[in-house]
Structure 1
Amino acid sequence: MSQPDSVTFADIEVAAKRLAGIAHHTPVITSRTINQHTGSQVFFKCKNFQRTGSFKFRGAYNALAQLRLEQQQTGAIAYSSGNHAQAVALAGQLLNIPTTIVMPEDAPTVKQAATRGYGAEVILYNRSETNREELAQTLAQQRNLTIIPPYDHPHIIAAQGTAAKELIKEVGELDLLLVCCGGGGLLSGSAIASQTLSPKCKVIGVEPERADDATRSFHSKILYSVNNPDTIADGARTPSLGKITFPLVLDYVDNMVTVSEEAIIRTMFFLWQRLKIVVEPTGVLAAAALLEGVVKAPQAKIGVVISGGNVDLKGLGHKIMNYEL
């Protein structure tokens, strides 16, 4: 499916060159225990070790770096629950571009603090009373700011596709690639990269059961949306896939599945304990689908993208008390 804002592997390669020496080349981790548990060879691409603690930095930097001079001078605005917020803030600091971030007031404290620490102005809003896109649009018009959306932008998508590009270049072709899905930027970009570098690889997107808009959209071919879904995976609380990411997901992704809140928490603890890495709830969505048996692929070579590691430990503790794990 061709469209004006479509993204190609050539765009991903250009983004990778622009990010070289600026974004971290994040590690790939393996685990004998997990290989035995799944009966497969599993490679975890750890974007939690990226600058700002998630994959979002690559997209934010790639988009901000391509603003026109007058746009850079007046500044950029973004809306985000946290990871895109931090990414835009740091990218703006590195590029000397003023940034304003619209964040929900219940966003993890650690993400709010980091966003301010990178020099951005943070404007908080109430999720139940305010539409973040409308608020950002109003502020952009009032202040002459350029909106940098969290996922539905070709420069964002192209840069997020570098995650899969790095993984496949490092470990070789895969049989299966599992990627978390919020708005679909990481998923669609990774699927485009996979089609070129590992054509036989099946790509599966993973969402929380409580925020299954992309899964329903994928299977029905009709764009569904959800309003402020109640999931611990705050990075997947996006209302829907975007105008750009939806057709890309339909074109390049092989399947979409969901995982329960309990599965997310169990997987997060398991990765903390076994891989010795800090991962956030959204960051383990893809791993949860595999470790909880939602996706089964014995004797396969599997890539799993861990998308982020920005955990508000105090806030998380209160949220998980009511779950029986």
Structure 2
Amino acid sequence: MTCPFLPTRRIGDRPVQELVVHAMRTADGAVVELEEIGTFPIAGNRAVALGLLNDDSGKSTAGAKRNPLDAVRSDLRRAFAPRKAALQARRVIDRHVHRLRSSDDPESIELVSKLFTPIAAEALLVSLGLEDEALEHETVTFFEQMQAEAMKSLLSPGLLVLARRIVTSSCVTPGGFLENQQLIRGRSTDDLSELVVLLLMAGVEPVANLTAMTAHTLLSEPRYPTPQAAYDHVVREDSPIYPGLYRTSKQALSINGHDHPAGTLFFVPVVATDVSERHFTFGAGPRRCVGQALAEKLVLGTVHALVQMGVDRVRECSWRAQLPRGLRSLHCSFADGR
């Protein structure tokens, strides 16, 4: 079968999303080959993409078992409710930024591993009802190692070990997500660990990555002069959540003359669909990311705190050598030399 080809290894300081946008505009409905990932018809049309995301039965791939998060989404939405997320994010950000301010030489501090990842890790643990510095350190260390060794988090047995440590921690606060009797009733440690694995995958590295790319965009792109403008650009056109979402159609679809039977697995780009401003960095529909409010508060709050400290430019940075696109390291300078 001949079809458009997207070389996903073309990552670095040039947005790989440009390739997705090009395919989305020119091959909507056609089958596209994504290097190292597979061959899928692309759903770049907003109406089709929303239909797939809203009508999906809970399976992202044909034949896949149901996502274990689906059974506890209402509990998770309460744990990550916007008002609660705002309070948690501010508390976590203030603590970590205070350490940065107290440093004799903040310009020497690598921000991805020493600020963005610890903030994301602690915020997730706090949302689960955990106040455990040792577990926070273990979580940050794991994700640092994962990046250094270019590990695939889905395949890493270390992630499951970490999740089990979290589930069996004695530092769960009363009323926390992991002490919810309705949630844990009838679920084994393995079942709960599987839930936490998914939360770790979605809540630590992607949030740290999104923070880094927002800060980098703010400091290197004059077109986006505020944290909000930089963030909006990243999630809309250069999302680190790459390459996209996968959904199986319930019914036959015809897109731009391309016919696909029911049960077809589609690739839904996370960047803005059609010529609209709509993006799917956090998904859409009933399975939209439950932690979106917390992630946004963490990203914008952290970058705003850096602005208040006088951050004025990127001193040096390095880009990840593997998917998803993003920054592996980031050093910044500050206006007062601090």
Q: TM-score, normalised by structure 1?
A: 0.32
Q: TM-score, normalised by structure 2?
A: 0.31
Q: Which has the higher contact order (CA 8 A, sep 6+)?
A: 2
